[in-house]
Amino acid sequence: MSSSKGTAIVTGAAQGIGRAIALRLADDGFDVALNDISVKLEQLETLAAEIKQKGRQSSTHVGDVSQEEDVKRMITQVAELHEGVDVMVANAGIIHRRVPMTEFSVEEWDQVMNVNARGVFLCYKYAGLQMIKQGRGGRIIGASSINGKQARPDREAYSASKFAVRGLTQSAAQEFGPHAITVNAYAPGAIDTPMMASFVEDPAAYRETRKNRSPLKKIGVPEDMASLVSFLASKESRFITGQTISINGGLFFD
């Protein structure tokens, strides 16, 4: 086994974008710690086995990123098992049913904001503390969205939560920069994932609509996100921080 580039944590790693990111970072030479909720433990364990087959170390950490104690425990466990944390990818997120704001419940609002915004905040905070303690810099990367650049009707909580990630990313970049820690986020457009299929009535029609809107006439795949995260996690991205980078096939231009 070649020497590791360090250890990366990927939250929401059981499927879709998180899974692709974890595999790509393993290919890049990182040991990868995997997080998701308890009902996805079997998927996490399968992914960990795949990563080990690539010659990298991997571990699974069940927990809810919206719960402070879960995040603190995860960071502590990873730091002890893998001798530190070098990359944090705060990828975990949920989306809600399409419904007008006038019909959207406070409970649903809180659930989405807790995972998508509070969860990213907690991952940024505790990964940042660990990286500062280590004194060797690091990379913190969060998940925003095309809806964090341009809000959509019937997506009030999701849009607000993904706008929040942009603000968190900018603040954290300024606070952690003196410690050689960069903080960036990715803003996916339409990506062909299980989560995308779960929130539209006709996934095939949705894919076709999104393809037609893109100048590339394509819909994204999880590996597209993984390629961007691979760069943001690398030494080559050392002069990029505080950015939320659109990766949407040209659905709109920043």
Q: Would you write out the chain's pLDDT as a tens digit for each of its 254 residues?
A: 677 899 999 999 999 999 999 999 999 999 999 999 999 999 999 999 999 999 999 999 999 999 999 999 999 999 999 999 999 999 999 998 888 999 999 999 999 999 999 999 999 999 999 999 999 999 999 999 999 999 988 889 999 999 999 999 999 999 999 999 999 999 998 887 766 556 666 767 777 777 777 888 888 899 999 999 999 999 999 999 999 999 999 988 88
pLDDT score of 166: 98
**What 8-state DSSP symbol labels residue 242?**
S
Distance CA 181, CA 199 (A): 35
Residue type present at position 128:
G
Cα 135 from Cα 112, distance rounded (Å) = 34
pLDDT at 207: 73
> Catalytic site residues?
158, 162
Write down the H helix ranges in 116-202: 119-134, 156-176, 194-198
The DSSP secondary-structure symbol of 13 reads -
Q: In this predicted structure, what is the pLDDT of residue 198?
A: 61
| Closest of 13, 2, 232 to residue 140, by C-alpha | 232
Residue 173: φ, ψ to 5°: -60, -40
Q: Among 55, 16, 10, which Cα is nearest to 36's?
A: 10
H helix or E strand, kind and range, residue 82: helix 68-82
Structure confidence at residue 225 (pLDDT): 96
Amino acid (1-letter code) at residue 21: I
pLDDT of residue 3: 77
The pLDDT, as a whole number, for residue 209 is 75
Residues pairing with 35 in the sheet: 61
Return the pLDDT at 197. Answer: 56
Q: CA triplet 196, 123, 66: central angle to 5 degrees?
A: 65
